[in-house]
């Protein structure tokens, strides 16, 4: 099973609405994402970090559920 750093996160541009996938490792190592339309998204903003934390918690919950099924 892959770890959190192998997961991808959708970064949705507030300007054009385009969604771009980036690995959590990439997101953790960068502070700004620039969409193809030129809009910059601050990856270290509290709002974006809250979204990332929510996705990571959901991933951990699904991973635990899968582990428990095998018991």
Q: For the chain, what are the domain ranges?
A: 4-69
Spatial distance between the Cα atoms of 53 and 55, rounded to a whole number of angstroms: 5
Kindly report, residue by residue over 29-51, the tens digit of the pLDDT.
999 999 999 999 999 889 888 88
Q: Is the pLDDT of residue 17 over 90?
A: yes
Which residues touch 14 (CB under 8 Å, ≥6 apart)?
A: 39, 41
Residue 66 is encoded by which pair of tokens?
């899968």
CB 43 within 8 A of CB 30: yes
Note the pTM of the prediction, 2 decimals.
Answer: 0.66
Listed residue (30, 63, 54, 34) closest to 44, CA to CA: 30
């Amino acid at each position: 099973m892959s770890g959190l750093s192998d997961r991808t996160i959708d970064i949705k541009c507030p300007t054009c609405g385009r969604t771009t996938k980036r690995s959590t490792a990439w997101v953790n190592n960068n502070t700004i994402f620039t969409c193809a339309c030129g809009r910059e998204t601050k990856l270290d903003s509290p709002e974006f970090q809250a979204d990332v934390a929510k996705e990571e918690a959901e991933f951990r919950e699904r991973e635990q559920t899968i582990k428990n099924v095998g018991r």
